[in-house]
Chains A and B, each alone.
Chain A
Amino acid sequence: MKLETVAEIAHRIATSPPLLEAKGLCVDYVTEAGNIRACDDINITLHRGEILGIAGESASGKSTLLAALGRLQRAPAVTSAGQVVFHAKGKEPVDLTRLSEEQLVDYRWSGISIVMQSAMACLNPVSRLKAQFLDVLLAHDSSLTKATATARAEELLQMVGIPSHRINAFPHELSGGMQQRALIALSLACDPELVLMDEPTTAVDVVMQRQILAKVLELQEKLGFAIAFVTHDLSLLLEISDRIAIMYGGKIVEVGTAAQMYEAPRHPYTQGLRNAFPPLTEPVRKLTGIPGSPPNLLNLPQGCAFAPRCSQKIARCESEIPALLDISGGRAACHLLTQEIPEPAKEALNA
């Protein structure tokens, strides 16, 4: 991977055609205590071949968003508003939220596939890897025979560094790292245009995490699929993503290229996340966390959801919800960025 400049990345994304667009997407959890809006008015466009990172604290709605993008949410989660427009290769753009489960089959796995957090829980414990590769290969490509599908499955396993004879293994016979890599191989089985990754490396140690990410990036570059990568680990996203979206309280609060996020985060929440992990190359400094805890989605504050924890809040923050606006290359939802601010606060922002 060549190291691109911020401008190059921005240019590449801007010129690449859109692949998946979320427009005003809302996801509610229907509970007895009322509807909980886990994703609120999400607008984001994922381009072909792009790696989009989605970060946020627990309960920020990031996994819910990912499931909604892949139309995989299960009760009690309901997509209550908005569209998910998927631009499949050689097909008309289609709003996935309007499709029935039967119609979605055409887009599943060959269009959008998913890698989930715990590989052990994602592989069917009672069947061999071979069966789990073959059923999806044969379901989506009628030209394959059993023999050619097996060959393809072996090739996929080799691609992620698993010897092809392990195709006859049961999931419990593989190590945790191998399981995760097998799952990644599985996700690539039908040449997807988009791979959703929901914390795919959380269950393995850091060394294995490195290897898996390197493998994913290598394959991504070779095969050109787009990735939506969800994690709470912002430092990891900074390293692998083209762009990063930060979620808080069910909303996207900031979007920008990884470099922008690292060097000049705009939103006070992103700044808080950014300041919570140590730099490798800079002198040691005191790390600061974000005081307080994530908001209760059943009882969100009237204004900005982050206002109660925000050290820079102004009067407007507590009464008015900030909109996600274009701000110098990226997008952010913060009143501080749209108003005339006194000098000291500006310094704090640019710090």
Chain B
Amino acid sequence: MSIDVQDHPPLDKGPEPDLEVKKQPRFSYKARVQGFKYLGKRLVTYLIVAFISLVANFMLPRFMPGNPADQMIQSIVAKTGNMPSPYALAQIYARYGDPNQNVLVAFWHYLVQTLQGDLGLSIQYYPVPVADLIGRALPWTLYLAIFSTIIGWIIGTWAGAKLGWKPGRRLDSIVTPIAMFFSSIPAFWLGLLLVWFISYKNGWLPPQGAYNESLAINLLDPTFLTSVAIYSILPMATLVLVGFANWMFTMRNMMITTVNEDYVQLARAKGLKPNKVLRNYAARNALLPNFTGLAQSIGASLTAVILAESVFIYPGVGSLLFAAQGTRDYPVMQGVMLLIILVSLVFNFIADSVYVLLDPRTKEK
């Protein structure tokens, strides 16, 4: 468009810089490449962190006082009455330090083993491989961690958006202290209270376990799935009750600042329905920090899950770790530690990917 020069003698100066009409596809190729570049960079960072955690996992037992390898061999001998097999011995030395071997060579062996999914043999359940033990426990833990975090996140974010939209209202003054109360209770203590009241006192729900053990594990069997759902209500509720408040508070606070942003004012001035302003303008922007938090916290929530599992005797990684601590089952403990780190990294990466989709501005940075 050009300004009609004749009509505006005092105001006609200056070129119009944005006039060149270039054809641009809807999702520009450039923006897409930038998005992938950003994710690629993040991926490299995560791979480096994963490698460092592998190194730490390899080094830590070697710094332990005494000689964990010898201790382990002794406890296996005490348990089984025989010397471990040569394969098991080699594995123990590879993981827990062989004084006769070069550290770099040992690390190489360790790395190759780990990358092949071989985490050594459990001491407690000798000679069951650690990978098998974790493989059996992990689905339960992930199920609890992912679902409880997501449910807590949805409830917390939704409630926070409502409260922050009009802070200081009656709803705010009722819900906020209650949420504060729940968020400050430790998960295991709330779990104990729930088990005592709901299971032992009233018998409404099963107190422990992950499914009715008279049923065979079959993911296609609706009876089995129902049983899993019913058994998980209590641990899930515990984790959600303890977890949702933090989401609510961050969302509420983000909403309070976002609601005063000019673009929310402008949306109001546009005469849009209040719900639309809340959803598409205020909450949509206030949500961004909560979203990064979500995937990160699935990794972080493993700690709470592990504690809750011990209360509900849920057959997840937490129970496995608990048992391993009691018997100094180093291979299991190390395997679990490595796993928690990797799971956290995976979810962090998911968080980054989602964030790129949600906030177009990250692509530019």
Contact = CB atoms under 8 A, between A and B. Distances in A.
Interface of A: 1, 70, 72, 74, 101, 104-110, 113-114, 116, 118, 121-127, 131, 135-136, 139-140, 158-163, 165-166, 168, 170, 172, 175, 177-178, 207-208, 210-211, 213-215, 217-218, 221, 239
B285 interface: yes
Interface in B2-22: 3-4, 7-8, 10-14, 16-22
Contacts of A175: 17-18
A124 B284 CA distance: 9
Contacts, number: 127
B42 interface: no
Interface stretch (B48-56, B60-68, B357-365): B357-365
B284 to A, nearest CB: 6
B273 interface: yes
A113 B261 CA distance: 17
Given A175-B18, A211-B16, A217-B11, A114 B3 contact: no
Contacts of A207: 13-14
Contact of B284 (A114, A126, A163, A221): A126
22 contacts: A1-B8, A70-B269, A104-B271, A109-B269, A114-B269, A122-B263, A123-B266, A124-B285, A131-B280, A135-B276, A136-B270, A136-B271, A136-B272, A139-B276, A163-B21, A172-B364, A210-B13, A213-B11, A214-B12, A217-B8, A221-B7, A239-B10
Contact of B18 (A114, A139, A162, A213): A162
B263 A124 contact: yes
Contacts of A162: 18
A229 to B, nearest CB: 14
A254 to B, nearest CB: 24
A187 to B, nearest CB: 9
Contacts of A124: 263, 267, 280-281, 284-285
A81 B274 CA distance: 26
A49 B363 CA distance: 44
Give the interface centre of B268, B285, B358 by most chain A CB atoms within 10 Å: B268
Nearest to B285: A126
Given A74-B260, A124-B267, A211-B16, 8 more contacts: A1-B7, A1-B8, A116-B266, A124-B281, A126-B285, A131-B280, A215-B3, A221-B7
B10 A72 contact: no
Contacts of A213: 11
A116 to B, nearest CB: 6
A101 B273 CA distance: 10
B4 A178 contact: no
Contacts of A208: 14
A123 B263 contact: yes
B23 interface: yes
B223 to A, nearest CB: 45
Contacts of A113: 269-270
A131 B18 CA distance: 21
B3 A218 contact: yes
A131 B21 CA distance: 21
B270 A109 contact: yes
Contacts of B18: 161-163, 175, 177-178
